Amino acid sequence: MEAIFHERQEGSLCAQHCLNNLLQGEYFSPVELSSIAQQLDEEERMRMAEGGLSSEEYRTFLQPSGNMDDSGFFSIQVISNALKVWGLELILFNSPEYQRLGIDPINERSFICNYKEHWFTVRKLGKQWFNLNSLLTGPELISDTYLALFLAQLQQEGYSIFVVKGDLPDCEADQLLQMIRVQQMQRPKLIGEDTLQARDQRVQKADLEQTLDVSQPFDGPGVLDEDEENFQKALALSRQEIDMEDEEADLRRAIQLSMQGGHRTGFSDACTLNAPRSATTNQSESLTSEELRRRRQAYFEKQQHLHQQCQNPEFHDVPTTSSNALGTDPGGDLSEEDMLQAAMNMSLETVRNSLNTEEKK
């Protein structure tokens, strides 16, 4: 690709770039093309003056030149006259005269394309076709199978295509590419495309920052703070679920213990509650083994008496029965919460009876 001559766009000098890319060298300058344009203007003025200097056609012709302007644009007549110096001729590609020839585009050597005052060259170098548009950062490889489709697409977009007839001057790129074929991994970009994309990204970033700044007073601390708040809420909910699972586990264990033996639990609770009471009333005294034996004997007799009362049918009418104390139907099914409440009521009742027994003693 380095051997291919390719002029990149400067100002509006696309006609100059088109000719030099076609001829593969710096053959024409803006000054030379302007000279050709002025010569054409003079020839046209002389022909128009033949009809009279006061004719409307002549006065219209005296308007600014149609062959060039201050921006650097040059007409097709300027390009055609410039190529005549090299013995080259331009033929309109889609003209009836050329279409009757039935020539396959792949058998031509080069094309000049124009659309809205922009000119560029498509030329064959060696055995491969290249798009030498000056608006590209470099030559673009065109396959033989894609050439006809490429030209048809240009025509559909409104381009005028001219076939360059004649022998082009020899060039280094043509000689080199006769021996080797090139491969292009990445299509060249348009000039300024990277700069335009970078500018668009900067504009989008600035717009986004401005949008965030405007929405900040209404949305609170921002999107990140809102996400942090949602995370903390989810964490708190997970901790509550863990605590509920622990409470359910403790509830099951308490129910299981209460079901295994109410007497042992009641006795243990009674002892636990009586121990601080005894220590508070008489801290200097210590219980003898005989006193402990009597108290245990009294406690078991009391428990046996309560058990006999529970088996008596008339006992269910008394408000102090175990079933009424539990607040449940003796014949119904108990839930885990009812069973836990029952265990707690039994323990409190046992402790209360045990305390009354102690006071009587």
Determine contact, residues 10/28, Cβ cutoff 8 Å.
no
pLDDT for res 231: 72
Which of 131, 110, 121 is CA-nearest to residue 187? 131
Per-residue pLDDT of 164-188, as tens digits, reads 999 999 999 999 999 999 999 888 9
DSSP symbol at 108: S
In angstroms, rounded to a whole number, what is the distance separating the alpha carbons of residues 306 and 262?
A: 12
pLDDT of residue 102: 86
Highest mean pLDDT among 3-12, 237-246, 255-264: 3-12
Of the candidates 78, 83, 88, which has an alpha carbon nearest to the alpha carbon of residue 41? 78
Q: Answer yes or no: are the C-beta atoms of 351 and 266 closer than 8 Å.
A: yes
Kindly state the average pLDDT of the residues 194-217: 65
Residues with a known catalytic role? 14, 118, 133
Highest mean pLDDT among 24-38, 238-252, 305-319: 24-38
Instruction: Please tell me the least confidently modeled range out of 18-32, 45-59, 91-105, 120-134.
Output: 45-59
Q: Which residues of 7-20 are buried (b: 16+ CB within 10 A; e: fewer)?
A: bebeebbbbbbbbb
CB 82: neighbour CB atoms within 10 A? 22
The backbone torsions φ and ψ at residue 125, rounded to the nearest 5 degrees and listed phi first, read -120, 120
Mean pLDDT across 289-310: 66
Top pLDDT among 336 and 106 is at 106
CB 136 within 8 A of CB 190: yes
pLDDT at position 56 over 80: no
Q: Is the pLDDT of residue 352 over 70?
A: no
Regarding predicted confidence, which is higher, 273 or 295? 295
Q: At what angle do helices 76-84 and 30-49 cross, to 10 degrees?
A: 110
From the list 124, 184, 122, 185, the residue with the least C-alpha distance to 154 is 122
At residue 67, what is the residue type?
Answer: N
Q: Are 122 and 131 in contact (CB under 8 A)?
A: yes
Residue with the larger pLDDT of the pair 189 and 48: 189
The answer to whether 148 and 106 are in contact (CB under 8 A) is yes
